[in-house]
Amino acid sequence: RKEVEQDPGPFNVPEGATVAFNCTYSNSASQSFFWYRQDCRKEPKLLMSVYSSGNEDGRFTAQLNRASQYISLLIRDSKLSDSATYLCVVTRTISNFGNEKLTFGTGTRLTIIP
């Protein structure tokens, strides 16, 4: 089983629509959870952290369900600039010095259609 699984998509969504991405992770020792965004041939950029209580940042809402090992991202009122690959990322501390290891999903490709 993959450590982090995402639907690869692609999701082709009209501008203004709401789109939801899901992700599951297999390692129950995972400690922190994030959504990153990656544009074509660019570096991953942190979009938002994900908490069990749910968190919102403008049009973006993220949710974590630790019991189900499930993470979600909701994008409302999608914009053309939201077109990107969305990466589900889980982390855990891998050394006594505090180094973290990020484990990435394969990403979900989103294209917003005008």
27 binding other proteins? (CB under 8 A) = no
CB neighbour list of residue 26: distance below 8 Å, 6 or more residues apart: 1, 2, 3, 4, 5, 69
Q: If binding means CB under 8 A, how many residues of this protein chain bind other proteins?
A: 27
Tokens of 99: 């180094």
Neighbours of 68 (CB within 10 A): 8
94 binding other proteins? (CB under 8 A) = yes
91 binding other proteins? (CB under 8 A) = yes
By beta-carbon proximity to other proteins, the closer residue of 18 and 31 is: 31
The interface with other proteins within residues 29-68 (CB under 8 A) comprises 31-32, 38, 41-46, 49
